Structure 1
């Protein structure tokens, strides 16, 4: 966790050319529109397969059609330093979440919903902010994360899979539009959370 300076948010998907960068741009735009100060939003992938590539043209089109900018972007893989310096890390799928948990252990970090303080990262599923889903208090980072937190083992995995943001890369323009809709619906709730934790 970042202990000084701006509040840092990291969006994470697979290759950093579709979901995570779409969420980065939408959230950054909405935070600015809300007058939020001292927050930096960035994105990365758990894989380096798209390293150096620009945002997917279909993702860029969906953003433009929704009225968002498409700034210069080069995909890159999440590294331990970026992870450790982040305050809030949002995973697009349960697979990403599991990989991020592994990275946290390897880096000697504690990462779970609601974590704060030195050596800890607030790690959540992106869609855990969706008010239309039945998300537990623990998944929202409320209360004791180790008391009646989340189901264990296979049940936990299946529960997190329900929060996945599907990968539009394999689909059509309609799939990118659906991803855009999902991102736009959830980001206002992230804005509210960030403004609360940053006392704005």
Structure 2
């Protein structure tokens, strides 16, 4: 399910925030893809996803048109996304804060008020052994549609790896 940060249902077994710079390119892709993976597996009701940016430049704006186009080509709908800024107050309600590059990792770990919250911050590519050495998902903002498509592919693969790690535990909790 997609929820605003202040609406995170604490009864949802697992809550993930995806974070990039402006919340108009990479993190919306990750949020939408994870939501789709969960729904297709019949687990959409046990994973809540949100996304945000480290900056506030695009708050309230839709995702970049190239993001929406790449998502649509791959069968996802990003048309309803509206950018927001990640808030440190989100941490207690999250199980994971998945960041798209090391700059976001540094920022969120600095924003975290406790060691427990710092431990929630993870690089997306770390979940995918094949892509982990890359560390960062490149920011396609200053590039073309082909780069957005390539970034979407990276995010899809890493999200599948993350979902594959989460799904067994989440299925055990589903009756």
TM-score bin (small chain): 0.7 to 0.9
**What secondary structure, in the 3-state scheme, does the structure 2 residue paired with 1:54 have?**
coil
Q: Deviations for 1:47-77, whole angstroms, at most 9, x for unmatched residues? A: 1011111100000000000111124121111
Mapping of residues 63-142 of structure 1, within 5 Å: 63-104=71-112, 107-112=113-118, 115=119, 122-133=120-131
Query: Runs of 4+ in structure 1 displaced over 2 angstroms?
Result: 107-112, 196-200
Cα gap change, 1:133/1:74 in structure 2, threshold over 3 Å: closer, same or farther? closer
User: RMSD of the alignment, in Å?
Assistant: 1.9
Residue 179 in structure 1 maps to residue 169 in structure 2: no
The number of aligned residues is 163
Q: What TM-score does the superposition give when structure 1 sets the normalisation length?
A: 0.75
Q: What TM-score does the superposition give when structure 2 sets the normalisation length?
A: 0.86
**What secondary structure, in the 3-state scheme, does the structure 2 residue paired with 1:198 have?**
helix
Cα gap change, 1:92/1:185 in structure 2, threshold over 3 Å: closer, same or farther? same
| Alpha-carbon offset, residue 84 of structure 1 | 2.3
Cα gap change, 1:134/1:57 in structure 2, threshold over 3 Å: closer, same or farther? closer
Selected match of 1:62 from 70, 88, 94: 70
Q: Structure 2 regions of 5+ residues with no counterpart?
A: 1-7
Task: Answer whether contact 1:62 1:176 (CA < 8 A) is retained.
Answer: yes
Which structure: larger Rg?
1
**What secondary structure, in the 3-state scheme, does the structure 2 residue paired with 1:43 have?**
strand
Task: Answer whether contact 2:91 2:117 (CA < 8 A) is retained.
Answer: no
Task: Answer whether contact 1:84 1:109 (CA < 8 A) is retained.
Answer: no
Task: Answer whether contact 2:99 2:122 (CA < 8 A) is retained.
Answer: yes
Selected match of 2:24 from 2, 12, 17: 17
Q: Structure 1 regions of 5+ residues with no counterpart?
A: 116-121, 136-161
- Which one has a larger percent helix, Structure 1 or Structure 2? 2
| Alpha-carbon offset, residue 30 of structure 1 | 0.7
Hey, what's the Cα distance between the residues in 2 that align with 1:49 and 1:8?
25
